[in-house]
Amino acid sequence: MMAPLLEFLLALFLFFAYASKLNEKFKGLYWPLTDFLRCVTAAVIYFAISIAAVSKYSDGASKAAGVFGFIATIVYAIDFYITFNDLVTFLKQGSSEPPERRKSEDEDSDSDSD
């Protein structure tokens, strides 16, 4: 019970950090990599707990918990994939700004160089 709770609290912290633009204030922490590692660890933890819930206990509640755990694993894996693509884009460009920020600045520019 402790591992999913810690993952949930870490996800909640990162959600509020992004919502309150804390990632722009603290440049020392590499925010895209932090979010990437959170997704990876959450997917692994929820997968392991789901396997344990399904295989160890035979009651209906444990089976339901295992199914919901597998669904959470899939959701975290999708988030892992999306975050990984953003992280690769971020590392290829070599900028210190997050990918979302660069996209909005590129869309706002009015260059008529063509």
Which tokens go with 58? 């035979």
Block mean pLDDT (10 aa), the chain, length 114: 82 86 79 84 88 84 86 89 84 64 53 52
Instruction: Please report, in angstroms and rounded to a whole number, the separation of the first and last CA atoms in the chain.
Output: 58
Which string of b and e fits 40-57 if b means at least 16 CB within 10 Å? bbbbbbbbebbeebbeee
Measure the CA–CA gap between 89 and 104, rounded to whole angstroms: 15
Q: What is the pTM of this model?
A: 0.65
Q: What is the pLDDT of residue 74?
A: 92
